[in-house]
Amino acid sequence: MKYLDEYRDGEVAGKIVAEMRRIQTRPWVLMEVCGGQTHSIVKNGIDQLLPEGVELVHGPGCPVCVTPLEMIDKAHSIARRPDVIFCSFGDMLRVPGSDGDLFTIKSNGGDVRIVYSPLDCLKIARANPTKQIVFFAIGFETTAPANAMLAWRAREEKMANVSLLVSHVLVPPALEAILASPENRVQGFLGPGHVCAVMGYSEYVPISARYHAPIVVTGFEPLDILEGVLMTVKQLEEGRAVVENQYSRILNESGNLPAQQLIGKVFEVSDRKWRGIGTIPNSGYRLRKEFAAHDAEKLFDVAEIATMEPEICISGEILRGIKKPHDCPAFGTLCTPQHPLGATMVSAEGACAAYYAYGRHLKPAPLHQIVPNAAPEPAAAGGGRS
């Protein structure tokens, strides 16, 4: 298929890997940030092609995985209400809360619907004027513009029965949290292609400089990922640390400006809790107060829900690149996609679920000993978000 087959060519893949072998002199640890990249790596067996010593660890970029259990429980308690039609992206339906998943709620009589676009909620709202239509607005910057558009249109068109349960997270603060951790092993990043298609990549420049870590904004097809790895290894070998763009057929440095403007009008930056990681300051979006009439958290009296994650689960360490799924004693035994114990097993894009689905026939590779990056420069170098 045009625009796909070109990026799945086994022969070209071999050439990129050969070049990697030629330039590589020591072990390197790279993190792919996006869940879509993790899925593609494990599904296509890309990690099996890499030279020994180039290790990929899997980042926090699966929006389903990092949505905190409290938020999922909130969503479920709203979805159970008889006056609500609860709309969600498809892969959120299988994510278990403290008591079942959205499929269970649906089979109990709850009205739960999969939508392909958030704007489908407007159509559903017009057809069901006596019902409250609640959309579960989760995701990274990638889904933010479409979700913002729903809030914007709902307000413009005075649709009082449309609201959003917002749990949006942002990539740059998570990268900083990983790099600032004393346990950090990650030396370079494959940056999130689709997030940067919306936001551009200028906000990654100060992070790369401050922590002296190369960031190569990368696509999702096998050759995109191999080329992204090659570009990152090349920077590391040459002692450089800058932001580069592998995915130039899709994005440029400034990103999608109209989308950014819409996001700015609807959302404001707020602290967010990440499942498996904890609260990261300024790491998410919430609705601005002008949109309070469409904010499901304000409309529905959902009590604070306290939850506890099982101690055995190491998803926090996996999301920060310190451990891999095979390091977990529960992986594939107590913890499977049917019975997930934690964040990284719940969605197809989570590292544990991807390993389980596609890679459980492989023997785990040992973690490489690496020389840590230079200490971060003083905070004055920037890295803040506005």
Radius of gyration of the chain (CA): 21
Question: How many Cβ atoms from other residues are within 10 Å of residue 331's Cβ?
Answer: 23
Question: What is the DSSP code string of 128-149?
Answer: -TTSEEEEEEEESTTTHHHHHH
Would you count residue 82 as binding other proteins (CB under 8 A)? yes
Would you count residue 93 as binding other proteins (CB under 8 A)? yes
Q: Which residues neighbour 343 within 8 Å (Cβ) at sequence distance 6 or greater? A: 65, 66, 275, 276, 313, 315, 316, 319, 350
**Binding mask of the shown chain, residues 261 to 300, with x at each position contacting other proteins by CB under 8 A:** ----------------------------------------
**Binding mask of the shown chain, residues 36 to 65, with x at each position contacting other proteins by CB under 8 A:** x-----xxxxxxxx-------------xx-
> Whats the size of the chain, residue-wise?
386
**Touching other proteins, residues 358-377 (CB under 8 A):** 358-361
162-169 sheet: strands from edge to edge: 111-114, 84-88, 132-139, 162-169, 278-287, 267-274
Q: Is the CB of residue 314 less than 8 Å from the CB of residue 208?
A: no
Q: Is the CB of residue 155 less than 8 Å from the CB of residue 294?
A: yes
Amino acid letter, 367: L
Which of 303, 371, 375, 380 touches other proteins (CB under 8 A)? Answer: 303
**Touching other proteins, residues 193-252 (CB under 8 A):** 194, 222-223
In the complex, minimum distance from the CB of residue 375 to other proteins, in angstroms, rounded to a whole number: 34
Would you count residue 9 as binding other proteins (CB under 8 A)? yes
Contacting range for other proteins; rule: CB under 8 A; set: 269-277, 288-296, 337-345, 365-373: 337-345
Which of 142, 187, 256, 315 touches other proteins (CB under 8 A)? Answer: 142
Which of 89, 135, 189, 274 touches other proteins (CB under 8 A)? Answer: 89
**Touching other proteins, residues 107-136 (CB under 8 A):** 107-110, 114, 116
In the complex, minimum distance from the CB of residue 229 to other proteins, in angstroms, rounded to a whole number: 13
Amino acid letter, 277: I
Two structure tokens written together for 18: 């050969």
Contacting range for other proteins; rule: CB under 8 A; set: 256-264, 283-291, 354-362, 367-375: 354-362
